[in-house]
Amino acid sequence: MQPRKSIFITGAASGIGRAVAQSFAAKGWFVGLADVNEAGMKETAATIPAGQYSLHRLDVRDRVQWRDALAAFWTAAGKRMDVLFNNAGIGRGGALAETPPEEDDLVLDVNLKGVIYGAKAGYLYLKQTPGSCLLNTASAAGIFGAAGMSVYCATKFAVRGFTESLDVEWEEDGIKVRSLMPSFIDTPILDHVAADSNRQIRDTVSEAGLEIAPVSLVVEHVWQAIEGNAVHTRVGKDAKRLWFWSRFAPSIVRKRAKTISAARDRLG
């Protein structure tokens, strides 16, 4: 009998994490739900059959919490971890000169350090599970840099490079390392208000004429990412266009970045 596969998901309390948890559970996978938002995790768990999930309060900025959460998940999942989905992230924006230093640090700690800590803690378990995959959520912001998103973009470019490096480094261990590069997805992250503005991120996105894609689109691409051979999986029309333009017509990417900046200035 084929052993039940398992996936550990950070940021599982809402948005992409919740949708991915529901999709994998529907296919019979055991799902580890991890987040700092315990109430949100319980809401996600309520949509998954009993006995098919475990709950883990996890602040991805804390190495010890990573160690303890993955050890508990490993036992609950029957000593296998087919996928570690490094999905937790936060969206913060605003002019660099205006954002509080502690907000910059928070973005770096969650979006980049949290991914690194997860990979280091998860390596032991991924190595013991044949055909395993580390999946990191990057972003279309890892393809181009837009004004008002400098620190956020920096973390996503870094996750992109981190993914490429580890995919080579861990190949001999039989671990695939992949990234998702979504364009703007309809999740609570778009409801954040920039530090130097009174408008939500989704207002800027809409004004710039960019796509806001449904979460269901990401779920489809998660399966493609873990089962396919591409290191990076772009999600949404804008992400795919930007990837193409960044390679063959970088001036168009710069023009689009200025369009987003101009929209943000009008809304601010």
Would residue 152 show up in a list of annotated catalytic residues for this protein?
A: yes
DSSP states of 91-151 as a string? ---S-TTTS-HHHHHHHHIIIIIHHHHHHHHHHHHHHTSTT-EEEEE--GGGTS--TT-HH
Please tell me which residue in 117, 123, 125, 152 is annotated as part of the active site.
152
At 94, which amino acid appears? G
DSSP 3-state of 14: coil
Strands 6-10 and 30-35, bridge-based pairing: parallel
φ, ψ dihedrals at 65, nearest 5°: -65, -35
Give the C-alpha separation, 58 to 160, whole Å.
Answer: 23
Q: Tell me the catalytic residues.
A: 152
